Amino acid sequence: MPELPETETIARDLHGAIACVRVESVEVVRPDVLRAGARKLNSKLAGRTIQRVWRRAKSVVLSINGPSHVVVTPRFTGALLLGAPTVPDAYACLRIRLADDRELRYTDVRRLGTVAFLDDDAFAEWSGALGPEPLDPGFTAERFSGCIRGSKRAIKAVLMDQARLAGVGNIYANEALWRAGVRPSRRSATLTAREREALHRELTTVLREAVDARGTSFRDYRDAYGQRGGFASRLQAYGRGGEPCARCGRPLKSSHAIDGRATVWCAGCQR
């Protein structure tokens, strides 16, 4: 599932390529991906200009003059691809024809992703329900501590709670906890100030490194041009259950006990 680095990569690519470009028309191929306000999308977007493409949490936001916003949440197999309008795609859900004869296509094999159309008030309500962004300049160790302190839930589950912290998913929660030496099942409230500082540092560092590598690709994730991300080769925990820990050499453990998601950790050096 695309997380912060992957959706950030897509948003940056698209902003550089289609900001200030006018929408010519919209074809909805699979209406089951449409959510709030997205019915009759062609009449809402045709003739309007894409002012900005950016990311909020794990969603890509196309801000349109008006003002309003198209919020695309790719989830497991969704992708926003930019190219020629003649490209065949059996999984295309939405085709946005641009005035310069290019096409922005939302494609989704399993159709678990969503496309919403929100005015400013609805967008503010949606965004306001999300936690702070880990890569914002104001996201200090103190603010991070306030996000996770006091919870009796497992720290990994707290990191992935979008109402507490926006954009962090399973891949980078595993990686940050391994780097910080914190066991994923630890109750968040038991972390010391030093451990919270270390986790803040490692979380923001791994997210920035993954953005620089244009995300992590295993099967489905592709950037806006259909290319794979390059961070998978640098993963030290996620997907490596049973392999030796790069820090202490003990076999990494793997479990689905926390929220049913794959958790990988080292019993030797994560406390």
**CB neighbours of residue 228 within 10 Å:** 15
Which among 89, 74, 29, 114 is positioned nearest to 221, based on CA atoms? 74
Tokens 């200090």, located at residue: 140
Measured between alpha carbons, how far is 172 from 169 in angstroms, rounded to an integer? 6
Q: What's the token pair of residue 46?
A: 């045709």
Read off the amino acid at residue 106: Y
Q: Are 9 and 211 in contact (CB under 8 A)?
A: yes
What is the set of active-site residues? Answer: 2-3, 58, 261
Measured between alpha carbons, how far is 98 from 80 in angstroms, rounded to an integer? 14
73: phi then psi, degrees, rounded to nearest 5:
-115, 105
61: phi then psi, degrees, rounded to nearest 5:
-115, 125
Q: Are 1 and 164 in contact (CB under 8 A)?
A: no
